[in-house]
Amino acid sequence: ANRIARGHFVVEGEAFQLDVNNGPNALHGGLRGFNKAIWNATQVEDGVSLSLTSPDGDQGYPGEVQVSVSYTLQGETLTTEYRAQSSKTTPINLTNHSYFNLAGQGTADIYDHQVTICAESYLPVDETSIPTGEIRSVEGTPFDLRGEVLIGARLKEVPGPGFDHNFCLSSSSDNWKERYAARVCHPLSGRVLEVFTSQPGVQFYTANFLDGSMMGKGGSRYGKHSGFCLETQNWPDAVNKASFPNCLLRPGEEYHHVTRFTFTTV
């Protein structure tokens, strides 16, 4: 998930070069990331379990990786659970890139949504959207979303086309535990989305680069700021940033994270 600077990293003294598919960087696993793979699907109670084997060298990554993702729906909560094991030490960072618009199908934008993200700090990025390495306090910045903030008004204060930043839900030394991460409310409809996750970060993205070419249900076209994403994740480019949370999965270890999306009304 997310970006790796120049598609390059070093693990255990060996250099690896990934597909570069987003300017000078690697994005979302490469040209044929897991989002473009054919997964094996199995029905489970209240949901579905998907599994995939990524061969050693896939998109330039080391190790054969066995991955599973389950989606289960209980009441008003959709739970996504990620597991992975690797034959070699490899970076791994799995997420879900679903877009939401709580106003409903065909709504042009998310300007009337209110967002809260429970993060004391965020990661500033360079001109190619790679974190600079600084972990900056949100205090006194447009990235302070700890209280309920109207998205449309705050977008006018954010440099660039909108939000596409990692918010730090924990410090790099914290134990990873499931926590309350974010809340988005659409006051007019009364719909609310709350996010809980064991991941140390969440990428808040406001669909800055959708251009209307993507057609959805009923012929609706999705343009800039027509939806938002809350991508729970490790911090971007952690494989190249020693001060960021560890993203390496070693043989014999298991990658395991849980994210819950709860839908309610006010």
* Extended beta strands in 92-237, E state: 114-117, 121-122, 136-137, 149-150, 164-168, 179-186, 191-197, 201-205, 214-215, 221-222, 229-233
pLDDT tens digits along 239-249: 999 999 999 99
The arithmetic mean of pLDDT across residues 68-91, rounded, is: 98
Q: How far apart are CA 160 and CA 90, in angstroms?
A: 33
Q: What is the pLDDT of residues 109-160, one digit of tens each?
A: 999 999 999 999 999 999 999 999 999 999 999 999 999 999 999 999 999 9
pLDDT at 127: 95
* Whole-number pLDDT of residue 106: 85
pLDDT, tens digit (0-9, with 9 covering 90-100), for 201-221: 999 999 999 999 988 888 999
Q: Is the pLDDT of residue 172 over 70?
A: no
Q: Compute the mean pLDDT over every residue in the chain, rounded to the nearest whole number.
A: 96
Domain hosting residue 121, numbered range: 3-265
Segment holding 153, helix H or strand E: helix 151-155
Total domains, the chain = 1
Residues serving a catalytic function are: 97, 231
- CATH number, position 260: 2.70.98.10
Contacts (Cβ under 8 Å, ≥6 apart) of 58: 65
Q: Where does the pLDDT of residue 1 fall: very low under 50, low under 70, confident under 90, or very high at 90 and above?
A: confident
Cβ atoms of 80 and 48 within 8 Å: the answer is no
Q: What percent of the chain has pLDDT over 90?
A: 92
Checking if the pLDDT of 223 tops 90, the result is yes
Q: Per-residue pLDDT tens for 20-54?
A: 999 999 999 999 999 999 999 999 999 999 999 99
pLDDT beyond 70 at 91: yes
Q: Residue 214's pLDDT is what?
A: 86
CA atoms within 13 A on the CB side of 65: 28
- 174 has a pLDDT exceeding 90: no
Tokens of 144: 């302070």
Per-residue tokens: 196 = 């809980």
Cα 195 to Cα 117: distance, rounded to the nearest angstrom: 9
Is residue 175's pLDDT more than 80? no
